[in-house]
Chain A
Amino acid sequence: MNELSRQQRKARRLVFNISVVFVFVILYIGFFRIQVAGGEKYYEISLDNSVRQLVQYPVRGTIRDINGQILVDDRPSFFVAVIPRQLTYKTIDTLARIISVDPELIREKIRGRRTYRPVYIKKDLKYAVIAELEERRLDLPGVLVEVESKRFYPEGVYSPHIFGYIGEVDKSEAEKNSDIEAGELIGKKGLEKKYDTSLRGTKGVYFVRVDAEGRDLGIINPDRNIEAISGMDLYLTLDYSFQQFAESLMVDKRGAIVALDPRNGRVIAFVSKPDYDPRLLSGKISKEVWSKLQSDTTHPLYSRGIQSVYPPGSTYKLVAVIAALQEGIITPKWTAYCPGYFKLGRKTIHCWNAKGHGNIQLREAIIKSCNVFFYQLGLKIGIETWAKYSMMFLFGQPTGIDLPNESRGLVPTYDYYIKKYGPNGWTRGNLANLAIGQGELLTTPLQMAQFAMFIANKGVVHRPHLAHYLYNKDTQKRLFFPTETNYIQGISDDVYDFIREGMKQVVAKGTGWLGSIPGIEVAGKTGTAQNPHGEDHAWFIAFAPYDDPVIALAVIVENGGGGGVVAAPIARKCMEKFFYDRLLPRTYAIKDTIRLDSLENLPPIDIEEVDRLRIGRSE
């Protein structure tokens, strides 16, 4: 059975012979077509020397606000490139003189690359230089003038911490992504980085015939060309006129404003000051500008909204209240006595009100932000419960906003203190401090805005995001990003009602009264955070309207002073602009001074420092 009969083998042999000959005949036809029928054409091409592969760069997508107003545009810019194989020493010298660079620099760039692939030499050529290069084209075989796009910002557009910037790809990035070649531009920071692939588009390729002088003899075979695909336009969730207004409130300050729409997590405003003019970093970045920005002690390159971490101060008392009520540790009736100070062992810590608040109940303590009350409450709650609730409310972890390099903040735990300070590292004093939002606890302004959204929504947290949708010009389709929603379980409605009511009272008659606006009920909490860098940081978090919130925000002014005096009025102006599109006249005098005299150029807390702490902790 296993050996085929002679007859069967014969049949199968025939099938094999026919198949093999058939395939070879096809190959013969192929050779005939290009060598005999097309031989002339190809021979001519080969005489002309060669085919060159040229890259067609896509137009980078624009960034626009929710109304379609262009915030970041793309404009052509000329650069010069060379074909290393076609260069002579004379050409290099001539080229170097025209574009005024050191010939050595050109030689350095093409060293070891004996290819026909163009190599970038210089960008942002002036029109006079382009004209001269074009005129002397015959003397410059192997030199190409090409066009690429450069970022352009319309007048009045700043917000560098939202947009970020683009720059030449560096080695490690190029290795990670084989589509990108040296010298190309990619997003380096901000939205430009986060949505780089979508904004960048796809490079095209076309093949042209060139002669020995590198002159373009036209397209060789249009079928093989691949068109570049333009990048998509990015539409943001914010209205830029409101963003501009919010930025104007912070011009002379250091700090941040983050405003979110609690219904969907959209960013309404994202301000980080001081900042820089994004035009400085569009296209070629000059060394002086860069080093000046980097060495500036006010850290303008820092995106404070997401990168700087601060102790949240009294705003964080809300966490202690929720934890204590939910765990049944206290009832709203619980009362503490505040003589203006609190003795813990041998140490005495003071309330901000040195006269003391007397016998004070929970709600009153929130409204008046009594420290002594919360020292005692903190001791009752304990570190485990406190840390559990902090993490549950998403502190100590990135919010996942669509901006790169977000800091995670820090929620210290019992283990953290033991690891950092040794076996006796944990003291009850730490807990008293943490309960009032001081000590090692660190949060970003965005996390605080997210916390305001959490309370406004009674547990529903939408991931904050700046990107509304991407618009594809070719297919005319809009690509929406889904809203990511997270419901934080385990807090009862009674607790939410109590805490929200408390926040309403804070603004109505408590420390946050300067944050109130006519006609709309605002709920908020002030914070005045002591810090090792001088004057207190002023905090205010709020949401409004009380019954059906459409805005949740956090304001911080670094070393600004009292939260109620400095931060709350800024939030008030934001909300007035948001709800009424103008500032309302006040019926009472406001002491709204900023203590500029104490304003020193001190940096915010360095996230790298915090990261180091975290690493140390996990070891």
Chain B
Amino acid sequence: MPKYDYITLGLTLVLITIGCFTIFSATSSATSEENGFFARQLMWCILGVLVMIGVSLISLKLINRLVYWFYVFTLFLLFLVLFVGKVGQGAERWLIVGPVHVQPSELAKLATILAVSKYLSDKYADVNKFKYFAIAVGLILLPFILIARQPDLGTALIFLALIIPLLYWAGLNWFHIFTILTPLLIMILSFNFWAFMILMISIALVLAYSRRKPIVLVAVFLLNIGVGIATPYLWDQLRPYQQQRILTFVNPEKDPKGAGYQIIQSQVAIGSGGIWGKGYLQGSQTHLRFLPAQHTDFIFSVIGEEFGFIGASLILLVFLLLILRFIHIAAVIRGQFESLTIIGILTVIFFHTVINIGMTIGMAPVTGLPLPFLSYGGSSLVVNMMMVGVVLNISRNKFIH
């Protein structure tokens, strides 16, 4: 009997339990219409645990065989949702099947991770060759485009965040990563002439020491200059409302319609928690309902107010340990497919966690990304549990003891 990974299991259960308690607090003084949140989340948690255990016990070979079908199926759902989906409170879209509301973009995360991992674990796959690199990126861009059109930009960007960790783990060498990352940096810095110049000089220096073929060096250098020149031009081509939309995404405090209000309220709630917090169910900001979306996107504000710096730090620590544990498993596991899958899963959980929590203290944009395991919401919770199930499954089968 192979060993079950009780560390991962334990940390996950701690997180969903905290989530339930916090949702109870966040909605306990709510009006009647919101009363059911705690009960429903409890139900989702039970379902999530069942799904997690189920996924962890099925045959890994079967998963491996079904990967591409799963990917195509979720793409189909994403396509469908563009036409028949119902728009939710944010920009995300839902499919409604009878009483069940499904958010296909959640499922697509897992499907994409599995598909890319499988593709890159092929015997002949070499990410340093253009063909394999391009197809792997293409597998990620497809769902990205479909979700960005919903237009749920926050969730879509999570897909882009997958590219570098996955390819890096699959063996992409530092020079290629450098080639991907520099144009992105250039894009941001190209609006300031001096920043642009300094960056170009550093790029030139790095290139000079990289000992690549001169033609490659010139090409990379020209690409960067091209991006640097084109970006401000393309920006000017955008219509003012498009520019506004992008600026609001990056800097929501400047959006007079409410994001600034949300951040201030969240900061007041978290800050007023102080070191020790006001105590469970004692948060005045929470219970006077000054907090926006306090049971979903801003759930960490409730934790910050009621449990203080100590509580918030501990929960952050649980997230950190879970992610470090995943990295550990990915590093010691046998099999490229399994290892890459775990890297993909931890990347998604990491970005969700950091962006959501960063948002509550005004350090990250308000994107509407839920906090894994804690935020209210069935689709997100069940898919996160499914991901943990995959990790448990892999660790059960492929651990090197």
Interface residues of A (CB under 8 A from B): 1-4, 8-10, 12-13, 15-17, 20-21, 23-24, 26-28, 30-32, 34-36, 38-43, 45-47, 49-51, 53, 55, 114, 178-179, 203-205, 207, 220-221, 224, 226
Interface size range on B against A: 35 or more
B320 engages A178 (CB within 8 Å): no
B272 engages A42 (CB within 8 Å): yes
A1 engages B126 (CB within 8 Å): yes
A17 engages B260 (CB within 8 Å): no
Contacting residues of chain B (336-357) with chain A, CB-CB under 8 angstroms: 336, 339, 343, 350, 354, 357
Most A CB contacts (10 A, CB to CB) among B269, B275, B309, B339 go to B309
Contact of A46 among B253, B268, B309 (CB under 8 A): B268
Instruction: Collect the chain A residues with CB atoms within 8 Å of residue B272's CB.
Output: 39, 42-43, 45-47
Determine the distance from Cα of A39 to Cα of B273 in the docked complex, in whole angstroms: 7
Determine the distance from Cα of A27 to Cα of B323 in the docked complex, in whole angstroms: 15
Q: In the complex where A2-B123, A2-B336, A43-B274 touch, is A35 in contact with B308 (Cβ < 8 A)?
A: yes
Most A CB contacts (10 A, CB to CB) among B253, B268, B312, B358 go to B268
Answer yes or no: B290 CB below 8 A from chain A CBs. yes
Contacting residues of chain B (256-275) with chain A, CB-CB under 8 angstroms: 256-258, 260-261, 264-265, 267-275
Contacting residues of chain B (356-393) with chain A, CB-CB under 8 angstroms: 357-358, 361, 363
A27 engages B264 (CB within 8 Å): no
A36 engages B256 (CB within 8 Å): no
Determine the distance from Cα of A42 to Cα of B123 in the docked complex, in whole angstroms: 57
- B21: min CB distance to chain A, Å: 20
A27 engages B354 (CB within 8 Å): yes
A31 engages B126 (CB within 8 Å): no
Instruction: Collect the chain B residues with CB atoms within 8 Å of residue A204's CB.
Output: 256
Q: Which 4 A-B pairs have the closest CB atoms?
A: A42-B271, A46-B272, A39-B274, A35-B309
A39 engages B271 (CB within 8 Å): yes
Contact of A45 among B253, B268, B361 (CB under 8 A): B268
Most B CB contacts (10 A, CB to CB) among A31, A41, A179 go to A31
Q: Which residue of B lies closest to A34 (CB)?
A: B271
Query: 7 A-B residue contacts at CB 8 Å?
Result: A8-B171, A30-B358, A34-B270, A46-B284, A46-B285, A51-B290, A221-B264
Determine the distance from Cα of A396 to Cα of B343 in the docked complex, in whole angstroms: 67
Instruction: Collect the chain A residues with CB atoms within 8 Å of residue B253's CB.
Output: 224
B327 engages A51 (CB within 8 Å): no
Answer yes or no: B209 CB below 8 A from chain A CBs. no
Instruction: Collect the chain B residues with CB atoms within 8 Å of residue A43's CB.
Output: 271-272, 274
A27 engages B358 (CB within 8 Å): yes
Contact of A35 among B165, B257, B275, B324 (CB under 8 A): B275
Instruction: Collect the chain A residues with CB atoms within 8 Å of residue B361's CB.
Output: 27, 30-31, 34
Contact residues of B: prevailing secondary structure: helix
Answer yes or no: B122 CB below 8 A from chain A CBs. yes
Most A CB contacts (10 A, CB to CB) among B256, B267, B290, B335 go to B256
Contact of B316 among A28, A36, A50, A55 (CB under 8 A): A28
Contacting residues of chain B (280-326) with chain A, CB-CB under 8 angstroms: 284-285, 288, 290, 304, 308-309, 312-313, 316, 319-320, 323-324
A20 engages B271 (CB within 8 Å): no
Answer yes or no: B331 CB below 8 A from chain A CBs. yes
- A370: min CB distance to chain B, Å: 56
Contact of A31 among B285, B309, B339 (CB under 8 A): B309
Contacting residues of chain B (117-176) with chain A, CB-CB under 8 angstroms: 120-126, 165, 168-169, 171
Instruction: Collect the chain B residues with CB atoms within 8 Å of residue A221's CB.
Output: 264
Determine the distance from Cα of A41 to Cα of B327 in the docked complex, in whole angstroms: 39
B271 engages A51 (CB within 8 Å): no
Q: Which residue of A lies closest to B128 (CB)?
A: A1
Instruction: Collect the chain A residues with CB atoms within 8 Å of residue B363's CB.
Output: 26-27, 30
Determine the distance from Cα of A8 to Cα of B122 in the docked complex, in whole angstroms: 18
Q: Which residue of B lies closest to A51 (CB)?
A: B264
- B367: min CB distance to chain A, Å: 16
6 new A-B contacts, CB < 8 A, other than A2-B125, A31-B304, are A2-B123, A35-B309, A36-B274, A39-B273, A50-B288, A51-B268
A34 engages B267 (CB within 8 Å): yes
Contact of A50 among B290, B319, B320, B357 (CB under 8 A): B290
Instruction: Collect the chain B residues with CB atoms within 8 Å of residue A203's CB.
Output: 256
Interface residues of B (CB under 8 A from A): 31, 120-126, 165, 168-169, 171, 253-254, 256-258, 260-261, 264-265, 267-275, 284-285, 288, 290, 304, 308-309, 312-313, 316, 319-320, 323-324, 327-328, 330-331, 335-336, 339, 343, 350, 354, 357-358, 361, 363
B288 engages A23 (CB within 8 Å): no
A31 engages B270 (CB within 8 Å): yes
Number of A-B contacts (CB under 8 A): 143
A220 engages B274 (CB within 8 Å): no
Instruction: Collect the chain A residues with CB atoms within 8 Å of residue B171's CB.
Output: 2, 4, 8
Determine the distance from Cα of A24 to Cα of B322 in the docked complex, in whole angstroms: 13
Instruction: Collect the chain B residues with CB atoms within 8 Å of residue A23's CB.
Output: 350, 354
A13 engages B331 (CB within 8 Å): yes
Instruction: Collect the chain A residues with CB atoms within 8 Å of residue B288's CB.
Output: 49-50
Determine the distance from Cα of A204 to Cα of B284 in the docked complex, in whole angstroms: 29
A20 engages B309 (CB within 8 Å): no
Q: In the complex where A13-B331, A23-B354 touch, is A35 in contact with B304 (Cβ < 8 A)?
A: yes
- B371: min CB distance to chain A, Å: 12
Instruction: Collect the chain B residues with CB atoms within 8 Å of residue A26's CB.
Output: 363
Instruction: Collect the chain B residues with CB atoms within 8 Å of residue A15's CB.
Output: 168
B126 engages A39 (CB within 8 Å): no
Instruction: Collect the chain B residues with CB atoms within 8 Å of residue A9's CB.
Output: 331, 339
Q: In the complex where A20-B323, A27-B358 touch, is A35 in contact with B270 (Cβ < 8 A)?
A: yes
A2 engages B121 (CB within 8 Å): yes
Most A CB contacts (10 A, CB to CB) among B123, B126, B361 go to B361
A17 engages B327 (CB within 8 Å): yes
Instruction: Collect the chain A residues with CB atoms within 8 Å of residue B316's CB.
Output: 24, 27-28, 31
A35 engages B312 (CB within 8 Å): yes
A3 engages B336 (CB within 8 Å): yes
Determine the distance from Cα of A16 to Cα of B350 in the docked complex, in whole angstroms: 11
Instruction: Collect the chain B residues with CB atoms within 8 Å of residue A38's CB.
Output: 271
B271 engages A41 (CB within 8 Å): yes
- B337: min CB distance to chain A, Å: 10
Determine the distance from Cα of A17 to Cα of B312 in the docked complex, in whole angstroms: 21
Determine the distance from Cα of A55 to Cα of B260 in the docked complex, in whole angstroms: 13
- B247: min CB distance to chain A, Å: 13
Contact of A42 among B126, B268, B324 (CB under 8 A): B268
A31 engages B313 (CB within 8 Å): yes
Instruction: Collect the chain B residues with CB atoms within 8 Å of residue A224's CB.
Output: 253, 260, 264
- A278: min CB distance to chain B, Å: 31
Determine the distance from Cα of A135 to Cα of B120 in the docked complex, in whole angstroms: 75
Most A CB contacts (10 A, CB to CB) among B124, B126, B320, B336 go to B320
- A103: min CB distance to chain B, Å: 24
Determine the distance from Cα of A207 to Cα of B120 in the docked complex, in whole angstroms: 51
Q: In the complex where A21-B320, A27-B358, A31-B309 touch, is A2 in contact with B124 (Cβ < 8 A)?
A: yes
Most A CB contacts (10 A, CB to CB) among B31, B272, B273, B320 go to B272
Determine the distance from Cα of A35 to Cα of B270 in the docked complex, in whole angstroms: 7
Determine the distance from Cα of A226 to Cα of B31 in the docked complex, in whole angstroms: 33
A2 engages B122 (CB within 8 Å): yes
Instruction: Collect the chain B residues with CB atoms within 8 Å of residue A28's CB.
Output: 313, 316
Q: Which residue of A lies closest to B339 (CB)?
A: A9
Determine the distance from Cα of A8 to Cα of B323 in the docked complex, in whole angstroms: 20
Q: In the complex where A2-B122, A28-B316 touch, is A35 in contact with B327 (Cβ < 8 A)?
A: no
A36 engages B275 (CB within 8 Å): yes
B284 engages A20 (CB within 8 Å): no
Instruction: Collect the chain A residues with CB atoms within 8 Å of residue B123's CB.
Output: 2
Determine the distance from Cα of A36 to Cα of B312 in the docked complex, in whole angstroms: 12
Contact of A36 among B268, B285, B309 (CB under 8 A): B309
Determine the distance from Cα of A147 to Cα of B165 in the docked complex, in whole angstroms: 55
